[in-house]
Amino acid sequence: MAYVDFLMKLHSNTKRDYVQRVVEFDKAECSEIAIQYGKDYWDGDRQYGYGGYKYDGRQRATAEAMAKHYGIKPGDKILDVGFGKGYLLYEFTQVIPGVEVAGIDISQYGLENSKEEVKPFLQIGNAVSLPFEDNSFDFVVSITTLHNLYNYELNSAVKEIERVGKGIKKHIVIESYRNESEKANLLYWQLTCRSFYTPKEWEWVFEQCGYTGDYSYIVFE
């Protein structure tokens, strides 16, 4: 298992007013709406989530970097656990023509409003029980999804990612914090996070689950 960062630079480009989210809005009410993962979360007002999650091509660079690093080639099968609206999977099909993609997510709204080109390959489901055979995919990716699970669900989810992937070509991205400032910002900003851990704690979780892939994290500086 290794730390390999693909997202922190992109994540850092977004400016956030952490204090505003807890002083101008009822944070608990916003979270209750956000965890439904419906229209308000994806395309509603900013206090409920993304504030509008539209395709703009920004994930192309991530797909290119991952494809190069993991040697993904035409014919390979890619699974995205927590596909959102399928934008990353779409970028993989553009970066490596001929790859086969699949995605699973709990959001019906996300599926219904996903990228049309990959929508036929997406399905509703939960990371704790993936409906795929062992060793089904050449590359498995999960970006900012697993921290939305409770701690008692993480063991199953990580083991499922390990089970359905071939070899070590897997990558998990979670939200984390390295100091008290980042911890406060994460607590202020997050709406759906259930598992709040430092990088070392996440590494411990992965090791306990026998995870052999790579990981990275985003922090709220």
Q: Average of pLDDT values for 6-30?
A: 88
Dihedral over alpha carbons 36, 141, 199, 31 (to 10 degrees): -10
Q: Establish if 58 belongs to a structural domain.
A: yes
Q: Establish if 201 belongs to a structural domain.
A: yes
Instruction: Name every residue whose Cβ is closer than 8 Å to that of residue 25 and which is 6 or more positions away in sequence.
Output: 47
How many structural domains does the chain have? 1
Q: Establish if 213 belongs to a structural domain.
A: yes
Look at residue 21 in the predicted model and tell me its pLDDT: 87
pLDDT band at 10 (very low <50, low <70, confident <90, very high): confident
Dihedral over alpha carbons 133, 121, 51, 18 (to 10 degrees): 20
- List, for residues 119-159, the tens digit of each pLDDT value: 999 999 999 999 999 999 999 999 999 999 999 999 999 99
Q: Average of pLDDT values for 5-19?
A: 85
Q: Establish if 203 belongs to a structural domain.
A: yes
Q: Establish if 1 belongs to a structural domain.
A: no
Look at residue 165 in the predicted model and tell me its pLDDT: 98
Q: Establish if 214 belongs to a structural domain.
A: yes
Q: Establish if 3 belongs to a structural domain.
A: no
Boundaries of domain holding 134? 8-218
Predicted TM-score of the model (pTM): 0.95
Q: Establish if 210 belongs to a structural domain.
A: yes
Look at residue 8 in the predicted model and tell me its pLDDT: 80
Read off the CATH number of the domain in which 29 is found: 3.40.50.150
Look at residue 14 in the predicted model and tell me its pLDDT: 81
Model confidence at 9: pLDDT above 90 = no
Listed in sequence order, the DSSP H helices in 35-179 are 39-43, 60-70, 87-95, 108-112, 151-164
- List, for residues 64-92, the tens digit of each pLDDT value: 999 999 999 999 999 999 999 999 999 99
